[in-house]
Structure 1
Amino acid sequence: MALRYSLRVVRYSAQNAVADFAATYTWKSWLFGWLGRMLSQVVFFTLAGRLLGSPSLHRERFVGNSVMTCVVEAMMVVASSAWERRAGTLPLLVSSPAGLFEVFFGRSLQWVVSGTATSFVALLALGPFFGVHWAPAAVPVVVVVLLVTSLGSYCFGLFLSVLVLQATQLRNIVSNVSYLAMMTFCGVQVPVGYWPAPIGWVAECIPITHGLRAMNALAAGGRADMVGQQVLEAALCGVFWVLVAAAAFRLLAERGRRDGSIEYSA
């Protein structure tokens, strides 16, 4: 019964996400604005990799930056979660019987769907120009890897959202710094092993590190078990962050009810 209630809250909140997305984009502005911008970013970083003269790095740079686009969009959950406090709805959510985490989990799911679509278009439409070809049988696996990576990154962003809800003026800074750090340290531009070991340990806790390994293995025709292992590890990272985010939202709500620290505006 409790699970059914939580899923219903997520579903209703996701309907808000759909309405929010429709108010943000038209099909023209998404296609020629957002998608065009992200494809240009993929092309730029891939061509920069070509200048290094390594065919292997060239392919991995293309795959990495294509997958990174879904993470960039998933991290927008940080900003869109902060909108609730700026709109004055957060105290109402805290006082409602619905769980705060369930509401916020569904509230920004549009970024997961849109980000997956962006990365999918980048990988399939731009791939042939950079020597990356996908067998028809691999296309469904590409979608699965992107969904797991995007959703896992979204869960990480949800945790950051709790921090930003207490300092909404930092929403864009936290979102941008987070995805730029992932782009730098998680294997998108250079291998994770390039960095000192402590950075590598942190990178192993971030979903895109494993999602990217899975996608690179898939692009190189790697074994199915290798791809599956990395997808599983990305999913486990996502589960870890969703549990941390759920606990953080619960603490935020409890503190707000106890000391009245959640006001109607911020």
Structure 2
Amino acid sequence: MRLVSEWRDVFTTAARIGFREFSTFYTWRAWVFGWFLRLVAQVIFFGSMGLLVQSPERIRYMVVGNATAVVCIEALAVITSTVRERALGTLALQVAAPADYALTYLGRGIYCLITGVVSSTSALFVAALVFRIHLPFPGLLLVPFLMLVTGASAYALGIAIGAVVMRFPALQFLALNLAYLSLMTFCGVNVPVDYWPGAVSTVTDFLPLTHGLKALRTVLDSGGWTDVLPSLVREIAVGGFWLLIGILLLKHAVTGERRRGTIELSG
């Protein structure tokens, strides 16, 4: 129990530092009228595609899919954290500290996930008002939870990708863009997963968003827990898989950097 308490304290402290860092990037006005407005515009843009075919079902499909993709976009921003930690000189300090650096790294970027849940949930509600989409009660109460589960899976994938790009700082934004665009393309955001060839559909079973989005669509189609649970469990399993891979890759990357003596104390 003492070890768990210590882990909790380390994680929450790292999370507070991350949120403080986030607050230096954005004021609430800049976030709402800059970043959040951009995300809402993106969801509404894709939802408007349904207007071209005069299909309320297509509008609903696009809005729900793209609003859910928002949480993945924000959660995957943790990919850039590894490079930023090195540039700021904090990675070396985390490695030198007695606490597990994987735990502090997970906590430092958790604001990406939390703000992603707020953004995606709010964007869904705003777009639903714009297009007059009915969100059934009490299913809509589960939206933030399902966004959290989906975003956590994407966050775990971001940790894994971030560990890989640690050695290739110039590729951080390329990796981020390829990651979230791949999820948006293949994981059921704008077209069903089974639209793609069988091999692609098989790969998407192991990617974040696929099962979480399916669970959310089921809830918003007034499905019960017995319908939602299989997809929810699969999304949690996918997140756990990528979290394990991410931690192993991070430890491997840091071990390699220490061996080469390339963990800089400053940018």
TM-score, length-scaled by structure 2: 0.94
RMSD (Å), alpha carbons: 1.6
For residue 17 of structure 2, what is the aligned residue in structure 1?
16
Indicate the residue corresponding to 1:149 in structure 2. 150
Note the C-alpha offset of 1:91. Answer: 2.0
Task: Give CA deviations for 1:173-221 in whole Å, capped at 9, x if unaligned.
Answer: 1111110111101111111111111111111111211111111111211
Work out the CA distance in 1 between the residues paired with 2:58 and 2:172.
Answer: 33
Structure 1 contact 95–257 (Cα < 8 Å) conserved:
no
Gaps of at least 5 residues in structure 1 are: none
Query: 2:44 corresponds to which residue?
Result: 43
Higher alpha-carbon deviation: 204-213 or 48-57: 48-57
Q: What pairs up with 1:88-237 in 2 under 5 angstroms?
A: 88-237=89-238
**Residue 238 (structure 1) shift:** 0.7
Aligned residues: 266
Cα displacement string for residues 73-116 of structure 1 (whole angstroms, at most 9, x for unaligned residues): 11111113320111122222222222121011001111111111
CA displacement 1:158-182 (0-9 Å, x = unmatched): 1111011111111111111110111
SS in 2 for 1:189: coil
> How far has the Cα of 1:25 moved from its partner?
1.0
| CA positional deviation for 1:72 | 0.8
Instruction: Point out where structure 2 has 5 or more consecutive residues left out of the alignment.
Output: none
- Comparing 127-136 and 40-49, the one that deviates more: 127-136
Describe the superposition over 1:98-140 as per-residue Cα deviations: whole angstroms up to 9, x where unpaired.
2121011001111111111111111222213334222342233
Q: Find the aligned partners of 1:142 and 1:125 in 2 and give their Cα distance.
A: 13
Q: Distance in 2 between matches of 1:232 and 1:42?
A: 27
Instruction: Write the distance in 1 (CA, Å) between the matches of 2:48 and 2:136.
Output: 24
Match of 1:69 in 2: 70
The residue number in structure 2 matching 1:256 is 257
- CA contact 2:78–2:162 (8 Å) conserved in 1: yes
Identity in percent: 32
Q: Supply the AA of the counterpart residue of 2:161.
A: L
- 8 Å CA contact 1:152–1:235 kept in 2: the answer is yes
Q: Determine if contact 1:69/1:115 at 8 Å carries over to the other structure.
A: yes
Mapped partners of 1:237, 1:209: distance in 2? 10
Conservation of the 8 A alpha-carbon contact between 2:18 and 2:111: yes
- Residue identity in the other structure for 1:43: I
Whole-angstrom CA distance in 1 between matches of 2:222 and 2:76: 30
Cα distance per residue 1:210-260 (max 9 Å; x no partner): 111111111211232112221221111111111111111221232233332
Tell me if structure 1 keeps the 8 A contact 2:257–2:263. Answer: yes
Q: Is the 8 A contact 2:40 2:126 kept in 1?
A: no
1:53 is displaced (CA, Å) by 4.3
Structure-1-length-normalised TM-score: 0.94
| CA–CA separation in structure 2 for the residues paired with 1:196 and 1:265 | 47
Structure 1: distance between partners of 2:99 and 2:40? 39
Q: Distance in 2 between matches of 1:148 and 1:12?
A: 22
